[in-house]
Structure 1
Amino acid sequence: MNLQTLFQDFNPSKFVVHTCLLIFTALLALKLDKTITWSYWAVFTPIWIWKFLVVLGAIVGTYVWWQYPHFRLEGEAYIHYKAMLISLAIHLILLMFELLVCDQLSTSRHLWILVFIPLIFISIVSIAICIWSVKHDRSYELELFCAVNILQFIFLALKLDTFIHWSWEVVFVPLWILMCLSLVDFLFCPIYHQNLIELMRSLITLLVLLTNKLDNRDELSSFSYIVVVSPLFISYATLIVMSFSSKGGNKWWFGIRKDFCQFLLSVFPLLQEYANIAYNNNVNRSSMPSEPVTQEPYRDEEIHKKVKDKKSQKNQKKNEAMKPVVPVTSIDMPD
């Protein structure tokens, strides 16, 4: 296990999002099984934490942007900041949808088609955001998910309002098509997408169990919701593990302006000692060193540049010292 690489490739945004979704899914399943008697507002607590961190991170990042104008000249700072604002807008509209869902589950005083309007609006806007993200080489997982599922959102709203009387198996047809196309695409590159293939298998299993549960078909309908969503736990666990090798992320959240690893080590210098240690459990005991193997200390680019300059200066002085010295004798010219 290489802790230095683990820190360098860690994506905190994906880790927070997938962890919050994992906890929320478990609480919602327990609520539907009547195992817990919490209100839906309490069940949605992980979602509120996620949105609070998004808003707080954008506020701090905006403060740093306007307080220190010279930071705007750092590389692609403007694109990073604009991407953060776009993501904030999407999350605020998504928060509106989540508030309406929570209120509808608690009171049932709205039509579901009205509840889904913010989500449908996000799906339409996400098409333009995906185009902008591709143009500027930015990530767009959430936007892409919303853009390709707009028809699924409409079917869900109409089914919940009983405007259509299709079975849930038919209602989920857009999602079935999307998953099958994605799985076929991943199968062409099994080496590079092995984790994604396992993720899609878990989601397809979830969809099969959920469809039979909602349609009350065969013995699968007797399963509790916590059992039905268990494949989703595997998917979230896979995504959480993958967040340690995802890299990327917007550097303007919370005004960090650097990789999360560099920021973490600058705030807690003592972690450098642990980040420089690598463990290998596959070596023989006879060849195992008595102490952990250490690597070169983690340094930022400026320190590496200074060390490189010092080495070049030493090499230059050494080369000058090795040059042969030719004596010069004066010759007097005769009158």
Structure 2
Amino acid sequence: MNLQSLFQDFNPSKFVVHTCLLVFTILFALKLDNCITWTYWTVFTPIWVWKILVILGATVGSYVWWRYPHFRLEGEAYVHYKSMLISLALHLILLMFELLVCDKLESARHLWILVFIPLIFISIVSIAVCIWAVKHDRSFELELFCAVNVLQFIFLALRLDGFIAWSWEVVFVPLWIVMCLSLVGVLYTIIFAAILLRTPEVNAQQRRSSFHSALGYTFLVIPILIFQVLLADKLDDDIRISYTAVVSPLFVSFITLILMSFSAKGGNKWWFGMRKDFCSFVLGACPLLQEYANIAYNTERSTNGVELEQQLDNKDKTVKRADLMKPVLPIVAIEMPD
């Protein structure tokens, strides 16, 4: 096992975000079921941790950017730094929305439509951010999620304030559409993986990656769809189950996302001023860990001297037999006339 090969594609940003969302989902469901008596400000602690890490990482990255100007000449430093600033701005607006949600849940002093204004603003701005990210080959999962759900956020705010009396199944229509498109994408990845598995010209690495991709997207989308169905039925009082049971399919999706973060290449290299991928930064900062990462373990069965000698003899015979099968061509000197 090679430690460096294990973490070379690790994306720490996605790992932190998905882990915080998983813990928050558990705490929020327990709070709704009255299993815990914490305040909502405490329940939102994983969200605060996420935002603190974002602000701290951007602050340290900006300090390194302005303190060492020669670092700006490294590759796509300007694109990475600009991407970090855009992400910081969106997270600050998202933090405003989360603060308003906490205050609304604790005091009920605002309308939900006012609470959702920052989120709706993010959704509109995210359209332009997605276009910029595509042009500069940057990831935009959060921005894409906000952009495609702008209508859903408006429906949620109007329904929570009582301005519309639709059933929750109708309120979730924009999300149903998004999930249908996601199911089409999952079906495509499954078919593509099945085709590659039956294609002998494709190497094993491509088959394995396509299979893992199809498996990951399946365990990501299907539980979200189940959660959406359970939530709509729960809010419409069609079923009587706890909120913990309603959100339990999301646990599968979040765990899948956490596992996929170990193979999610990319990530901004200017968070905390690292200027390199997470694996190289950790191995460079910890010499002992770097020495351990250079050790590879071989799990093959050890052989004694006699068996090893026999294997070498067999290999030599195979090489000689292969040499005899090669065609023999006369050596023609360049100086020899035709």
2:227 is aligned to 206
2:252 is aligned to 234
In structure 2, relative to structure 1, the CA distance for the partners of 1:234 and 1:280 (3 Å cut) is farther
Q: Which runs of 4+ in 1 moved over 3 A?
A: 276-281
In structure 2, relative to structure 1, the CA distance for the partners of 1:204 and 1:278 (3 Å cut) is farther
Retained in 2: the 8 A contact 1:4–1:277? no
Retained in 2: the 8 A contact 1:72–1:78? yes
Alignment of 1:12-31 (within 5 A): 12-31=12-31
1:48 is aligned to 48
1:165 is aligned to 165
1:274 CA displacement: 3.1
Which structure 2 residue ranges, 5 or more long, are not aligned?
194-209, 305-338
Retained in 1: the 8 A contact 2:219–2:252? no
1:110 is aligned to 110
Supply the distance in 2 between the matched residues of 1:180 and 1:2 (Cα, whole angstroms).
Answer: 40
1:260 is aligned to 278
Supply the distance in 1 between the matched residues of 2:95 and 2:303 (Cα, whole angstroms).
Answer: 53
In structure 2, relative to structure 1, the CA distance for the partners of 1:43 and 1:237 (3 Å cut) is same
Secondary structure of the corresponding residue to residue 133 of structure 1: helix
Secondary structure of the corresponding residue to residue 232 of structure 1: helix
In structure 2, relative to structure 1, the CA distance for the partners of 1:176 and 1:63 (3 Å cut) is same
Secondary structure of the corresponding residue to residue 36 of structure 2: coil
TM-score (norm 2): 0.81
1:320 is aligned to none
In structure 2, relative to structure 1, the CA distance for the partners of 1:267 and 1:152 (3 Å cut) is same
Retained in 1: the 8 A contact 2:123–2:146? yes
1:5 CA displacement: 1.4
Supply the distance in 2 between the matched residues of 1:95 and 1:17 (Cα, whole angstroms).
Answer: 14
Secondary structure of the corresponding residue to residue 275 of structure 2: coil
Supply the distance in 2 between the matched residues of 1:280 and 1:119 (Cα, whole angstroms).
Answer: 52
| Counterpart AA for 1:182 | S
1:278 CA displacement: 4.8
1:289 CA displacement: 8.3
Structure 1 residue 182 corresponds to structure 2 residue 203: no
Supply the distance in 2 between the matched residues of 1:242 and 1:173 (Cα, whole angstroms).
Answer: 28
Structure 1 residue 133 corresponds to structure 2 residue 133: yes
Retained in 2: the 8 A contact 1:7–1:275? no
In structure 2, relative to structure 1, the CA distance for the partners of 1:16 and 1:280 (3 Å cut) is farther
Structure 1 residue 197 corresponds to structure 2 residue 197: no
Alignment of 1:210-289 (within 5 A): 210-217=231-238, 221-278=239-296, 287=301
TM-score (norm 1): 0.82
In structure 2, relative to structure 1, the CA distance for the partners of 1:271 and 1:149 (3 Å cut) is same
Which structure 1 residue ranges, 5 or more long, are not aligned?
291-335
Alignment of 1:82-121 (within 5 A): 82-121=82-121
| Counterpart AA for 2:121 | F
Retained in 2: the 8 A contact 1:123–1:149? yes
In structure 2, relative to structure 1, the CA distance for the partners of 1:289 and 1:22 (3 Å cut) is farther
Deviations 1:124-156 (A, max 9, x none): 000000000000111000000000000000000
| Counterpart AA for 1:185 | G
Retained in 1: the 8 A contact 2:152–2:171? yes
Retained in 1: the 8 A contact 2:284–2:290? no
| Identical residues among aligned pairs (%) | 73
1:275 CA displacement: 2.2
Supply the distance in 2 between the matched residues of 1:201 and 1:279 (Cα, whole angstroms).
Answer: 37
1:95 CA displacement: 0.2
Secondary structure of the corresponding residue to residue 222 of structure 1: coil
Supply the distance in 1 between the matched residues of 2:296 and 2:150 (Cα, whole angstroms).
Answer: 46
Q: CA RMSD in A?
A: 1.5
